[in-house]
Structure 1
Amino acid sequence: MIDISKNKIGEKATFSGYKSLGMSFPKDEARKRIRILVWFLVGGFLFLFLPWTQNIRSNGFVTALRPDQRPQTVHSIIAGRIENWYVSEGDYVQKGDTVLMVSEIKDDYFDPQLLERTQLQVNAKNLSALSYSEKVKSLEVQIQALKENNVLRKEQAENRLRMAELQVTSDSIRFEQAKVNFKIGEDQLRRAKNLYEEGLRSLTDFEQRELRFQEVQASMIAAENDLLKSQNARIAAMIELNAIDNDFRDRMAKSTADMYEAMSARYDAEATATKLENQYTNYEVRTGFRYILAPQEGYITRAIQVGIGETIKEGAEIISILPANAQLAVEMYVSPVDFPLMRIGNRVRFIFDGWPAIVFSGWPQITNGTFGGVVHAIDNFSGPDGKYRILVVEDPQDKPWPDALRIGSGADGIALLNDVPLWYELWRQLNGFPPDYYTARQKSENRK
């Protein structure tokens, strides 16, 4: 009650006989306040020595650990026009399933018999190359025949030259014999003339001797003529031998030139045939690109190109696919001041979007609703925002992550570090030091 009266009831009545009324009056109130304050101070001081788990908190999102299991877009390799869709958004597709079909929009590929006609060109060029190959073989046989014929002709010409030389030798011997006969006949004629003049021989004997001398002279002239003929025959044989070599060289040069020309034509035909075969293969492969196939197993999430008859460019994005059965991981980012403290194998606790949790960041033992992870990879370079990317996978020693967790979900990560007293953590926070600052520096010095 409000104490506004000067009359005190305690002076007129005693309450010692009323136990419950005596208990309602305050006694020694200041001492109780001091005792409560002391207990609060003692409790707060002891609270400062409680263990505290240092941590680095960072936001991230769920992704796939393997690059080939992350969401991807399917591109069109060729430019075309959409003709037919075979899937819709949300469908589950296997690898190799047809997603849509496009038709050609370039006039180079409008011909419906493009492959058949290209194949005919390839066959024609192959036959042309084959004919040139046969021509080369024929010329090689011809060159070989020329070589063999040249050997025989040279042997024949050499034999003729040898015969001509022997004939020259024989005719020269006969000519020498004729000259000797001529000299003897001349001497005999002179003696016969002297004898006739002296009257020792008759005129008839002298005339007969003169006739024989004329015959000897004619024989000498005939022998000389035969010698000149045989010498001319030898010269002709030598000329023929040289002509054989010249003719052989001319024929060989012509045949070799024809052979190399045929070989060049064959190589040109083979090169053209190879180019056409490559073109045919490109046409054949391009025909297969008209059907856009699913690159892997997954779900169709979004159709980027829509409608029938819409034209798309080369490399244009068509649809996006979310791979099924992907190994999930969390992609989180830490600041440069906390990056040196992260190690492969560090424990991380996650709060996923949609799963409620009661979190005591300094006491993970009493935290409820979080999921465990282990640092799997750390980037060695910072991103555009100056932070470092860290990939965290599911902790096999902890409870599994939710089955309904999907790629792209948000995740609040708490990387657990060393256990320190609470006063040390408060002192660190007040000074703005990173977690485990001095311990990390001491470890670095020990490693050095």
Structure 2
Amino acid sequence: MSTAVHDRPTAPAETRVPPLESVLPALELVHTPRLIRRIGWVITVVLILVPLILAFAPWQQNVAGTGRVVSFDPVKRQQAIQAPIEARVKRWFVVEGQRVEPEQPIVELEDNDPTLLERLQQEVKALEDRIVRARERIESLGLQIDNLRLSRQNTESAARERLRAAEQNVEAAKKSLLEQDAMLQQRKLNYERQIELRKSGVTSQLELEVAERDYKSAEAELGRREAALRSAERSMLSAQAELSRSVADADAVIRAAEAALASAKGDLASAERELQPTLVRRNRQQAQFVTAPVAGTIHRLLANAAEGGALVKAGDRLAVIVPDIIDSVVEINVSGNDMPLLRVGAPVRLQFEGWPAVQFVGWPSVAVGTFGGRIRLIDPTDDGKGNFRILVEPDPSDRTPWPSANVLRPGVRANGWILLETVPLWWEIWRQLNGFPPTVPEPKA
């Protein structure tokens, strides 16, 4: 069996395609140079690598707020100068924008009643004279009471001495009476014995008569001594009564003097009590010149002195003064959502209005024209709208001091950023996208 072999057609030889530049010469004119292609590749790589590198760059978390410059001392803040009395504005000694020193006259007031001050002076003089007389009376009554107490003591001592003497006389009379009674008993026995002996004829009539005479004499003497005892007892009772009467009289006189002293003290207290409001009224009326309470600048004049002068009441505002600030702070309001993240002493970056600045929030170290501060005070409660006030003072460790007082005047607005923790940039972006709060710094021990 034979196999037929068929010849296959041979492929034509490969034909080389010429370059397009040779076919189309115009393409040579729009050809991209090799340098440009390399630059493009570099830019592409940079655009890819830079976001990746920045994602791990450190980012400073912060809480933003706005506020203004104020004085930390409330006395050094803007304050109103008020009228101390009801009067008429006579003339001003200052103009708006003028700087004043403490106790420098600001305005002169004129009372509507020109004789009121004179009457108040007379009333004060009368009350002062009344006080002087009351004090003199108190001093005199005090000396009188001391003398009365001394006199009472002497009178009582003398009366007690007389009573003691009367008591001694009574004791002596009692002793003498007892002695005489014993003698009487003895002579009675002798008389009775003489009677018996006479009956027996042992004694004579003369001896009996002598015994009888002695007995009667002793009996009479006993009566006299009894009378002397009764007299001594009456004298003792009289001395006791005199002692009680003299003490009672002296006490009554002392009580009367003490009552007069209490009345004089009451008069003194009443006069002093009446003098105080009168002095206040007089001093207010004498305050015709209202002076500057502190050193500062007159901000506004609120009363007119022309056409007879404006009538003002006590407490009306006459002018507004802005004291010189020594201890400047920035008052910043922050949201209540950020308040738990704040702490006293936390660092703050400040940008003052009108001061050229370039602020990089996440990189405060490269910011230009901002100033360092730290939190000095955080209000314990909000302002009624959910915002909290913080006071920021200069940071002594910052190399850039705050502007001078000529630039940093009260009321200059400021932007503030309270610095928190440093985190990677990707973390901050992820936190912002998810609405998480910033990282709270750990409190220092």
* TM tier, smaller: 0.7 to 0.9
1:241 alignment partner, one of 236, 244, 260 = 236
Q: CA deviation at 1:420?
A: 4.3
Q: CA deviation at 1:216?
A: 7.6
Q: CA deviation at 1:333?
A: 1.9
Aligned to 1:312: 313
Aligned letter for 2:137? S
Match of 2:121, SS state, is: coil
CA distance in 2, matches of 1:48, 1:406: 45
CA distance in 1, matches of 2:415, 2:67: 6
Aligned letter for 1:241? M
Assess if the C-alpha contact under 8 Å between 1:345 and 1:374 holds in 2.
yes
1:68 alignment partner, one of 75, 79, 88 = 75
Aligned to 2:388: 388
Assess if the C-alpha contact under 8 Å between 1:48 and 1:422 holds in 2.
no
Name structure 1 gaps, 5 residues minimum.
1-13, 193-204
Match of 2:379, SS state, is: strand
- Cα 1:45–1:317 change in 2 (3 A) is farther
CA distance in 1, matches of 2:44, 2:267: 97
Q: Which moved more, 1:117-126 or 1:299-308?
A: 299-308
CA distance in 1, matches of 2:96, 2:71: 21
1:138 alignment partner, one of 147, 162, 186 = 147
Within-5 A mapping of 1:5-84: 39=43, 43=47, 46-47=50-51, 49-50=53-54, 51=57, 52-75=59-82, 79-82=85-88, 84=90
Assess if the C-alpha contact under 8 Å between 1:49 and 1:422 holds in 2.
no
Q: CA deviation at 1:120?
A: 0.6
- Cα 1:62–1:148 change in 2 (3 A) is same
2:410 alignment partner, one of 407, 412, 420 = 407
Assess if the C-alpha contact under 8 Å between 2:303 and 2:318 holds in 1.
yes
CA distance in 1, matches of 2:24, 2:142: 137
Q: CA deviation at 1:155?
A: 3.9
CA distance in 2, matches of 1:167, 1:347: 112
Aligned letter for 1:141? L
Aligned to 1:429: 432
Q: What TM-score do you get using the length of structure 2 for normalisation? A: 0.73
- For the aligned residue pairs, the C-alpha RMSD in angstroms reads 4.3
- Cα 1:27–1:424 change in 2 (3 A) is farther
Name structure 2 gaps, 5 residues minimum.
1-19
Aligned to 1:95: 102
Query: Is 1:300 the counterpart of 2:298 in the alignment?
Result: yes
CA distance in 2, matches of 1:279, 1:96: 30
Match of 1:111, SS state, is: helix
Aligned to 1:7: none
CA distance in 2, matches of 1:224, 1:346: 121
Assess if the C-alpha contact under 8 Å between 1:70 and 1:326 holds in 2.
no
Q: CA deviation at 1:136?
A: 0.8
Aligned to 2:173: 164
Aligned to 1:397: 399
- Cα 1:425–1:173 change in 2 (3 A) is closer
CA distance in 2, matches of 1:98, 1:163: 93
Q: What's the CA shift string for 1:315-351, capped at 9, x where partnerless?
A: 5554432111422211112223333433444443333
Q: What TM-score do you get using the length of structure 1 for normalisation? A: 0.72
Aligned letter for 2:432? Q
CA distance in 2, matches of 1:142, 1:281: 40
Q: CA deviation at 1:401?
A: 1.8
Q: CA deviation at 1:256?
A: 2.1
Assess if the C-alpha contact under 8 Å between 1:66 and 1:327 holds in 2.
yes
CA distance in 2, matches of 1:67, 1:129: 48
Aligned letter for 1:46? V
Aligned to 1:374: 374
Q: CA deviation at 1:390?
A: 1.9
Q: Which moved more, 1:164-173 or 1:333-342?
A: 164-173
Q: CA deviation at 1:311?
A: 4.1
- Cα 1:129–1:309 change in 2 (3 A) is farther
Q: CA deviation at 1:122?
A: 1.0
Q: CA deviation at 1:164?
A: 2.9
Q: CA deviation at 1:101?
A: 5.6
CA distance in 2, matches of 1:44, 1:70: 55
- Cα 1:374–1:175 change in 2 (3 A) is closer
Q: What's the CA shift string for 1:217-276, capped at 9, x where partnerless?
A: 687556534422321220221122132123202211221232234234324423543553
Aligned letter for 1:355? W
Aligned to 1:348: 348
Aligned to 1:4: none
Aligned to 1:9: none
Assess if the C-alpha contact under 8 Å between 1:161 and 1:237 holds in 2.
yes
CA distance in 2, matches of 1:390, 1:357: 23
